[in-house]
Amino acid sequence: MKILSVTPLAIPAVKAIRFARFGDDRGWFAEPYRQSDIRQAAALPEMAGATALQANESVSRKNVVRGLHFQWNPYMGKLVRTLSGRMVDLALDIRPNSPTLGKAILHDMPARLEENWDEWIWVPPGFAHGNLFPEDTRIEYLCTGEYSPGNEAGICPFADDIDWTLADPALRAMLDACRAGGAIISEKDRNGLRLEQWLARPEADMFKL
């Protein structure tokens, strides 16, 4: 895995990780993940002890919104990338003593099949995670914890107490337009918690820095 760059986003704990593709007249080859390279990357010290324990893949139709999901016992960080289509990734800071608590960001991740690089987004524990899909899309994500029923929760991505001031305005407008136009969202996610409801629960303190 040849890591080209690690870019902290508007909330620095969330990072975009670009890695190389190697092309010729036949097409290209890429090594999307190598644990030793991730662990040794100087710009990813928080991943030095991380191990991908579970790989997930999903396909979503145009105008699907998923999230905002998170887990404890065990904690779950996620490396997420777009295989085909276009994903806009959502990350909401739920760390109670964080200076960006309650703020959410959006990161645009269309599939770039003609580029000589591809990109992961790293969403660490302490963030509620979701996605918006402006077109039919297939994604993959690697998780640092295995799924643990009963130790998860979700905040509705349309909750009125999420602070979007750090989010890219154009991507925020896209999310708002999707909602107004009839976003496809599960009942579980639509009926997710408000941020203040989650922070009132004792489990919220487990995500303190």
CB 11 within 8 A of CB 166: yes
Helices (H), the chain: 35-40, 169-180, 187-190, 195-199
Distance of CA 101 to the CA centre of its chain: 16
Q: Report how far residue 44's alpha carbon sits from residue 121's, in angstroms, rounded to the nearest whole number.
A: 12
Q: Report how far residue 3's alpha carbon sits from residue 189's, in angstroms, rounded to the nearest whole number.
A: 34
CB 18 within 8 A of CB 115: no
| Burial label, 192 (beta-carbon count in 10 A; 0-12, 13-18, 19+) | buried
Catalytic positions are 69, 141
Contacts of 8 (CB under 8 A, 6+ apart): 14, 15
Q: Report how far residue 2's alpha carbon sits from residue 21's, in angstroms, rounded to the nearest whole number.
A: 8
Q: Is 124 helix (H, G, I), strand (E, B) or coil?
A: coil
